[in-house]
Amino acid sequence: MEEKFVIKGGKNLSGEVEIGGYKNAAGPALAAILLTQEECRLGNMPLVEDVFRLVEVLKGMGVKVSWTGKNELTLKAGSDVDPEKMDPVLVSKSRISVLLIGALAARFKSFKIARPGGDRIGVRPIFTHLKALEDLGVESFSEDNFYHFKREELRGKEIILKEFSVTATENLLLAAVLAKGETVVKGAACEPQVQDLCWQLIKMGAKIEGVGTHTLRIEGREKLSGASHSIIPDVNEAATFIVASAFTKDKIKVINAIPDHLDLFLDKMQEAGVNLKKGKDFVEVSASSGFKAVRIQALPFPGFATDFLPLTAPLLTQAQGKSLVHDPLYENRLNYTQELKKMGADIEVVDPHRVIIFGKTPLNGVNIQSWDIRAGASLVIAGLIAQGTTVVENIYQIDRGYEKMEEKLQKLGADIQRRKV
């Protein structure tokens, strides 16, 4: 059944919140287990809908999967794995299914996969993925909502990516580790989840140089082995709770976070007037006041991530002055601003990629819609600081990327309830 969040705003939050595993790192980690027939163990797995769906896709192909701990999966992709058994409906409902392409290309000479789904934030073609795999020797074509792939031998070569695409880089890594010879990837994305995949593959026996840079060197291996790997903390969940914490009158400690993955985000928070302190594995936010307008633009890592933009918007409605938010990547990413305007925010849409937020303006509770994962999180934050009651509908979108968000907020003192529609 459809569910919604009912939020009574204006409550003071305080305490400690623990960040879970990173959904965007869990996807490539799950795909990587297809590269070996030996057993793999993945810890700190986020219990979110996108992960559950990808696990079901793997099971459907014949991967043996068991939960050996609350957040731990043990998987074995033995010789009976068959990509023809993939559930196209499940694949089409999750964007992270696109990461199966690279691993399947490494393991099988031919296969097909339904068009992956995901957030409705704009056109998200996989041309960069297909071109990179073509350079390795993988032919592809699209027909009847399926991508079809075939190859003979995967051969490493120098590949220049057309954009800093995170998932294209990950797909290329998944294929190149079993290609013959050396693959050099220039223009590679170096986001934390890409680095995490590299470290997992290295544990499995891959040889990769340049981790954390825009140039990767991968020396292909004949086979990889099983390994145990723990997923890194979720940078998006950490950013969400840091913004929500900005309005505390006390202190909130965001633990099991990696501040080094949040450098520019934290710098912008401080520029906006958020009082915070960084530790080795935590960020502590103290009472702040007099928020100031800032200009933010999505940039490749270590820049300000596109997923952080919606999360920051509610804060900017409470900042004095005129803030500019620019997302050059997705033309529908800014849909959430229409919901914020229903709450009283003063926002001018300049074009599909830029908005100006004028502050400070009071927010009032209304019924609003969650259009995608980060938009939903943005609206929850807005509901926490609004006067009155806010109802956020279509929270399945939030559940795709956040594990029990309302329970974590309740422990901080928020008045938020999950209810049936």
Determine contact, residues 57/408, Cβ cutoff 8 Å: no
From CA 345, how far away is CA 336, in angstroms rounded? 11
Q: What is the pTM of this model?
A: 0.94
Which tens digits make up the pLDDT trace of 305-342? 999 999 999 999 999 999 999 998 766 778 899 999 99
Residue spans in the chain of domains classed CATH 3.65.10.10: 3-20+233-420, 23-230
From CA 61, how far away is CA 75, in angstroms rounded? 12
Amino acid identity of 77?
Answer: A
Using a 10 angstrom Cβ sphere, with 0-12 exposed, 13-18 middle and 19 or more buried, the burial of residue 210 is: middle
Report helix, strand and coil shares of the chain as percent, to nearest 5. 35, 30, 35
| The residue count for the chain | 421
pLDDT at 121 over 50: no
Confidence of residue 30 (pLDDT cuts 50, 70, 90): very high
Structurally, what CATH architecture does the domain formed by 23-230 represent? Alpha-beta prism (3.65)
**54: closest CA among 84, 83, 87, 21?**
87
Which tens digits make up the pLDDT trace of 164-179? 999 999 999 999 999 9
Start-to-end CA distance of the chain, whole Å, equals 8
From CA 230, how far away is CA 200, in angstroms rounded? 9
Confidence of residue 117 (pLDDT cuts 50, 70, 90): low
- Give the pLDDT score at 188: 97
Using a 10 angstrom Cβ sphere, with 0-12 exposed, 13-18 middle and 19 or more buried, the burial of residue 18 is: middle
Could you tell me the CATH superfamily of domain 3-20+233-420?
Enolpyruvate transferase domain (3.65.10.10)
